[in-house]
């Protein structure tokens, strides 16, 4: 079956080649310079017109190609600008976040520092108050001791005066007797 099919195809191809060869020969004969209709002025004008149209079409195609290239370049430039703007926005956002974080840390540190200062001041105030209280207590004890001492001295003086008075009385009484 395969061989038969190949044979048929080969015959068809031979025939078609022969037919094309014949057509080609006919065209060559019909296009010979003496009988060719292309040699007429209308045909030459048509040929020139076709060449001009082809040049015009080529020029328009070149213009369209340049416009497409320019459009593509503009699109790429816009994309690049957009990308740069996006990167700049992202950079600014990161910078703002970083600054905000630094500001928060600075405020936190400032708050902690103030808190520590306040605690230190409170501690000093308490120490000063404690020292004043202790000094006042010591002063009160010293005054109390001084008063006791003064009272003892006065008592001793009174007793000494009393003894001296009794002694004098005893001497006077002894002199009188």
Span 142-170, pLDDT tens digits: 988 888 888 888 888 888 888 888 888 88
Query: Do 58 and 50 form a contact (C-beta atoms < 8 A)?
Result: no
Q: What is the pLDDT of residues 67-113, one digit of tens each?
A: 999 999 999 999 999 999 999 999 999 999 999 999 999 999 999 99
Distance of CA 136 to the CA centre of its chain: 61
Q: What share of the chain is helix, strand, coil (3-state, %, to 5)?
A: 95, 0, 5
Which conformational region is residue 77 in: left (phi greater than 0), alpha (psi within -120 to 50 degrees), or beta? alpha
d(CA 62, CA 73): 16
d(CA 45, CA 132): 126
Query: Do 39 and 33 form a contact (C-beta atoms < 8 A)?
Result: yes
Return the C-alpha torsion angle 81, 86, 88, 94, nearest 10. -170
Is this structure's pTM higher than 0.85?
Answer: no
Q: Which residues, other chains included, contact 47 with Cβ-Cβ below 8 Å and sequence gap of 6+?
A: 38
pLDDT category at 16 given cuts 50, 70, 90 is low
Q: What is the pLDDT of residues 54-69, one digit of tens each?
A: 999 999 999 999 999 9
- Strand, coil or helix: 35: coil
d(CA 53, CA 46): 10
Query: Do 44 and 50 form a contact (C-beta atoms < 8 A)?
Result: no
């Amino acid at each position: 079956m395969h061989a038969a099919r190949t044979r048929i195809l080969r015959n068809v191809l031979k025939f078609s080649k022969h037919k094309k060869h014949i057509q080609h020969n006919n065209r060559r004969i019909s296009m010979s310079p003496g009988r060719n209709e292309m040699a007429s002025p209308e045909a030459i004008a048509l040929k020139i017109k076709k060449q001009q149209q082809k040049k015009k079409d080529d020029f328009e195609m070149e213009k369209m190609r340049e416009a497409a290239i320019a459009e593509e370049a503009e699109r790429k430039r816009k994309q690049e600008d957009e990308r740069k703007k996006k990167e700049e926005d992202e950079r600014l956002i990161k910078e703002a976040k970083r600054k905000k974080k630094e500001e928060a840390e600075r405020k936190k540190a400032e708050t902690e520092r103030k808190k520590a200062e306040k605690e230190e001041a409170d501690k000093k105030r308490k120490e000063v108050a404690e020292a004043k209280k202790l000094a006042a207590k010591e002063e009160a004890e010293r005054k109390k001791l001084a008063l006791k001492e003064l009272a003892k001295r006065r008592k001793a003086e009174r007793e000494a005066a009393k003894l001296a008075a009794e002694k004098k009385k005893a001497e006077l009484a002894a002199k009188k007797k």
